[in-house]
Structure 1
Amino acid sequence: MSVNTAVDPALPIFALADCNSFYASCERVFRPDLASTPIVVLSNNDGCVIARSYDAKPFVKMGAPYFQIKDTLRRHGIVAFSSNYALYGQLSERVMTIIESMVCDSEIYSIDEIFCTLTGMPGDLTEFGRKIRAKVLKHTGIPVGVGIAHTKTLAKLANHTAKRLQSQTGGVVDLCDPFKRDWVLRNTAVEEVWGIGRRMSAHMQALGIRTAMDLATADPVLLGRKFSVVLEKTIRELAGTSCLALEDAAPSKQEICCSRMFGVRLETIEPIKEAVATYVQRASEKLRAQHSLCKKIRVSIRTGMFNPDEARYANGVLVELPYPTNDVRLITKAATQAVERLFRPGFRYSKAEVLLMDLRQPGEFTDDLFAHTQPAAADKVMNVLDEINNRWGRGTLRAAAVPAAPAWAMRRELMSQSYTTRLDQLWTVNAN
């Protein structure tokens, strides 16, 4: 069975460019000697696998604890890296800038994905997709796959097919052709469809919906009533009706969280305060970046929860700030005082979390006429703080409670150099 086989030239056309094994590809950019070597990237504190190159996937499962797979990595010649988020962020920005320069409109969907509109673009769209791949690879060293279709959901599916069958597709798949679209729908499992997770996939299987084509030809209204309007839109998009437009800008976050495991267990209060102050600094940077103010914060600390030989403790406290603010000094003071309320001696703490809550734009808080507001002087100080750190690097100027090189910092024993953000770690080329 085919869905909407007639091709309307007025239909919108979307493209999704997605970097292949992005974290692993970033590590290979400055290590050409690893071009044919399997790579995995580890989570904070070198805990578990969060990214794998294609040639590492047959041997390592996503989420596998690093300490359990060291022998497997050694046996198969797989190289492990600690996560280097500064490097990944820099390369992501370069990739997105290149692609944005080639299209009229775009939406950055994640650190390694960008939707573009190709509506009205003349010429062979598959060839244009190859030009995107070639330009990004030439200027960044990052390989990308490109999926093209009349809806964002189909473009996502086309991109998945482009990478799954890269040797046949060359990394570009155009599903504007109804024949190609139907072939992909018939040969794609329903769990591979964008937005169909493991739980929803189980429901679909129970209804006899096993492929993307089964879902595309299902009744969208009936399944929408049974599950959600999101599923209804997914079905319509698979059938060729565009329901999701490009977003001009990502909506402001309603909550901002900064949470990290410590590199070592902490038994005294002072280093925990330092950690919380450090997390407040990062969270407040994000808060000011979206031009928001915060009225409440939640601070929590806990011990390790999986060692039967260690005493367990976890607790959190909600703190109301005196007025809506993005002043890191005020938030830090409130957060470190909260740690004093939470800390209990005799435990070995492994993690802290700072959650900024009740976020709104300036002018959206409706307090009474005599309520305190953030002083204008604080706005000026925060602007200077951000300008200095944006120019000279994060942490150049920071609160006194934030140490430069804390002993409790998360472990990154396998981290690559900061090739793009530190002058003393620039890439060097051997003339020999």
Structure 2
Amino acid sequence: MAAPWITIKDMPQHVEEEVTIKGWMYNKRSSGKIHFLQIRDGSGFVQAVMVKKEVSPEEFEAAKKLWMEASVEITGTVRSDDRAPSGVELTVSNIKVNHNPTDEYPIGKKDHGVDFLLDNRHLWLRSQRQRAIMTIRERIVWSWRQFLHDRDFLLVDSPIITGAIGEGASGLFELDYFDQKAYLAQTGQLYAEAAAAAYGKVYCFGPTFRAEKSKTRRHLTEFWMLEPEVAYYDHKDNMDLQEALVSYTVEQVLEHCKEELALLERELSPLKSVLEGPFYRISYRDAVKKLNELGSSIEFGDDLGAEDETILTQQYDRPVFVECYPKGAKAFYMKENPDDKETVLCADLLAPEGYGEIIGGSQREDDLDKLTARMESDGLDMDSYGWYLDLRRYGTFVHSGFGIGLERTIAWICGLHHIREVIPWPRTIYRLNP
């Protein structure tokens, strides 16, 4: 009877049993009569020990000739090993080589430049570090969906091709759409607003596109964004929801991704401090004053740049909301602040440790006349927004929402310097392949 095929992840449940694992060899060392084969299968990593006298000469010789990333099927007995990261190793009784590369694997043990690794991103994803990052990415996505599902939010997918501008026109990818002008979506928010009028609590989640020619470590031209929208939530309700989501996300990663965080050498105390109290809240006006005191030349009316966000977040040990930006610095759909008509009811959530903005949100302008006036002053094509204005014509209502960037959130939680590592196939102004 053939040994059952199991995953490396499940090996600790099969100690002293004969099993088969199927995967790839990512490293090897030999000491004459023993081969130590490091095997991965997508679920984990394990060492397979092949003793010359316990296998056929042909199999031992075949293992000796294996290159990195050879695909193999290995049968053997699972043994407990407290020294192993997984707590087990495999004593080999049989090996089947499915494919042995004909030359050396391009990504070796030596250090490689970032451009080389990105050119070989399809192979770089196989590394332990990248697997750890992608595992945390998946956990964050799962946490977001679970958080919203448990609060009765309905997923409503928004279109990627759109005729309406959600943010500034300078950041649009324009398309020829048969005989019309169209754009890659910058946000699903406008559509989420329509869905909130139908279903109350909704969210969309998918790729978004920004054509800004930015070269900073925080920017991608294609990234993923979660965008909840809630009927009858005001500005404060909106921030409370954001804080609960971020706290839950950090809690889930700390609970379920200990090994991955350790592999990334992530210092955990800054993440744990996120859970120790409420997030900080500061008005835009006070933030400008504080930044001026700290040496920034920012003036009222300017949006916070990356350097300003870094300076500001270094003053706090937990995320901080910057509330009520000037109208001119923010999008047309944001609600005028009744207590300060130069500003709007919005907030950016800045992550600590200098990571800057991860969420942008606002209460939406529900007054048809005010919204129309703002759109006209911004020079928007009103014909493209007839459907959006209908939301204010037929049962207008207080509502709020936000967008949280997946990649920026991952970079912060993982403690990574550059955002390009946290998405499987990064797109920047200079990179379209692989």
* TM value normalised by structure 1: 0.22
Between the two structures, name the one with larger relative contact order (CA 8 Å, sep ≥ 6). Answer: 1
Larger radius of gyration: 2
Q: Name whichever structure is richer in helix by fraction.
A: 1
